[in-house]
Structure formats: C-alpha cells, structure tokens
Structure 1
Amino acid sequence: MRWKAFDYLSTAVIFISANALILLVCFTGWQVWGRYVLNDTPTWTEKAALLLILFVTLPMAAVGLRENFHLGIGYLVELLPVRLQRWCEIFNAFVLGGFGMMMIFGSWPLVKGTWGRDIPLIGLPQGLQYAPLMLSGALITAFMLERIWFAIKTTETDEKS
C-alpha cells in the first residue's frame, strides 16, 4: 500500500531526473564537441554538468529507497519470521528517516551560507550545490514515514487476524 500523492511525487522526481540526465548528456556532448572539433572548450559545461549530477543522483536515490531497489540487503531479514521482518522494516525505516532528517538539517547551513555566492562560470547561487542534499533528505524522510505508516498498519492488521 502506498499514498497516491507520493506516487505522483516519485513519478515527478523520475521525470525531472530523466530530463536532467538528457540535459547532462547534451552538456557533456557539447563540451567534447567544443574541445575536439571547435578547439574552443566551453568552460561552463563542466560546472553545469556537476550540478546536474547532484540533481539527478540524490533525489533518485531517495526514490530508490522508496521502491526498495537502493541499498537493500534483505537476505538475513528474509530468514526471520514474518512478524520480525515487519519490525525490522519499521526499524530500518526509522534509521533511514533519521538519516534523511540529518541530511536536511546538516545541509541547511551549507545552502544558507553559500547562497549569496555564485558558482563560477555559470552564475547560479552556490547554495544550489547543497540544495539536492536537502531535497533528497526531505524525500527520504517523507518516503520512510510512508513506509512506517503502512508497516505499522499491516502489523496491526496481522495481529488482529
């Protein structure tokens, strides 16, 4: 079971990340073309590509946690009885949610402290380099709250049966 709003959010993150990845490939292609064909390397493409990598990988890692295809080692947990598996899932979600909260609160001073400076060559606020950490932390926290909610509901339903 899942919350429909988080399904839409997850789909939006995938869509935005896919388009950012296409843009990343275009920037990198333009850099190679400029360097080897035009003999005039565009200087902004490397900084823009590095920024896009952050906006692709970090939010997608959060979606990966929600979909259970990122950082999953379930072999030992699968050997446990079903009831203990659920409690391990809840504990795991609490740990990951706490990590997401630390990402939010740890990256906020970085975003705030560097927002007034520009990234050289592209002129965007330097705080954008740390904003994906906050975004990813918020997504991880929200997705883990969803997981905890449904794991507890499922556990309660199983105990009543």
Structure 2
Amino acid sequence: MALCAMSCFAENKVQNQLKTIASIMGSLSTGALWLASLGLVMMTAFTAAQVFVRYVLNDSIVWSEPVSIVLMAWFIFLGAAVGIREGNHLSFDVLLIFVPDKVKTVFFTLSDLVVIGFGAGMVWYGGELMNSGWHIKIPTLGLPRAIDYMPLVVGGFLVVLFSLERLARRAAGLPTARFGETEIEE
C-alpha cells in the first residue's frame, strides 16, 4: 500500500512538472507566434511602402527588399515551429484510420522523432551557413549575411524543443488532443 502511494505521488509529481514545462512552452510558442505575426505585418508594410515610393514618388527604398526577405524567413520558421507544437504540420493520416490506438501512439512517436531529427539538421546545417556568412556583408544593410540564416537555427531549435515536449507529454500520459492527436482510449 505504501509502495503504491509513493508510486502515485511520484507520477503526480512528474505530471505536475510536465504541466509546468508545458505552460512555459505555451508561453514560448505564443511569443514566437506573436513575433512571426509582427514580422509578417512589418514585411507587408515595407513592401507596400516600397511599391508606393517606387511607382508614385519615382524613388526607391533600398533596404526594403533585403529586410523583407529576412523578416519572411523569421515568420516562416517561427510559424513552422509553432505549427509543430500544435500538431498542425503536414502529415499523411490515411493509415491512422485503420490501425489500432496503440499503433497510432507508436506512429505519433515515430513522427516526432523524425521531426526532431529534421529540426536538429536545421540547427546544425543552419549554424554552418550562419558561421560561414559572418564575414560577408549584405550590401544595402551593411549587416553580416549570417542574419539570413539565424531564423533557420532558431526555428530548428524550437522545432526540437516542441517535439521533445510532445514526446514527454505522450510518455507521461498527459492529454495531447490540443497538440494535434486524438484522445486515445486505453
């Protein structure tokens, strides 16, 4: 009886810790989504300003295109990481209709492991690209070309982090429906 009580206490403690981590990850995800949204709005404003200045004032804003490209990379990779966390990434779900619930759990886990590998590749190879671009300057901005690859590294890190969270939640038996999985009856 005492062993069962200790086991239940330890399980509740782990679940409480995971809920705290999930709350932190939720805040991080929300922040990333807000930054991505801000980047999209800024890119749209800079592009609209460039069109106005070019075709109405017959002039040009030389920095608008490179800044818009950097902003686009940020909102794409931050948004993709948030999509991974919420289970909105691309998937092929036809097979899931036909397999038992326990197999679905295995498939979800395998999917998350593949996504972790992909995110790690983003961090590794994006980091190599970033390191190789520090000495090259973006002509109209005067900033290192490495800033073009920072979103790839940050987005990859978030993809790994959010996928690890999904694995931890599933392993602890916490609900994952809001993360794109159906509730599985056991």
**TM-score calculated relative to the size of structure 1:** 0.91
> What letter corresponds to residue 45 of structure 1 in structure 2?
S
Find the aligned partners of 2:142 and 2:52 in 1 and give their Cα distance. 23
Q: Does 1:74 align with 2:65?
A: no
> What letter corresponds to residue 101 of structure 2 in structure 1?
V
3-state SS of 1:73 partner: coil
Q: Does 1:87 align with 2:69?
A: no
Shift of 1:72: 2.6
Q: Which residue of 2 aligns with 1:20?
A: 39
What runs of 5+ residues in structure 2 fail to find an aligned partner?
1-17, 175-185
Q: Does 1:32 align with 2:51?
A: yes
The within-5 A match list for 1:2-13 is 3-13=22-32
Contact 1:90 1:152 in 2 (8 A): no
Q: Percent identity?
A: 31
Q: Which residue of 1 aligns with 2:168?
A: 149
Find the aligned partners of 2:77 and 2:162 in 1 and give their Cα distance. 14
Q: Does 1:101 align with 2:120?
A: yes
Shift of 1:80: 1.2
Contact 1:118 1:125 in 2 (8 A): yes
Find the aligned partners of 1:123 and 1:73 in 2 and give their Cα distance. 44
> What letter corresponds to residue 106 of structure 1 in structure 2?
Y
Q: Which residue of 1 aligns with 2:70?
A: 51
Shift of 1:49: 0.7
Find the aligned partners of 1:53 and 1:39 in 2 and give their Cα distance. 26
Q: Which residue of 1 aligns with 2:182?
A: none
1:22-42 CA distances to partner (integer Å, 9 max, x unpaired)? 111110011101111000121
Find the aligned partners of 2:78 and 2:85 in 1 and give their Cα distance. 11
Distance of aligned partners of 1:78 and 1:6 in 2 relative to their CA distance in 1, 3 Å threshold: farther
Shift of 1:44: 1.3
Shift of 1:131: 0.8
Match of 1:138 among 137, 157, 163: 157
**TM-score calculated relative to the size of structure 2:** 0.79
The within-5 A match list for 1:111-130 is 111-130=130-149
The CA RMSD over aligned residues, in Å, is 1.6
> What letter corresponds to residue 85 of structure 2 in structure 1?
R
Find the aligned partners of 2:98 and 2:82 in 1 and give their Cα distance. 26
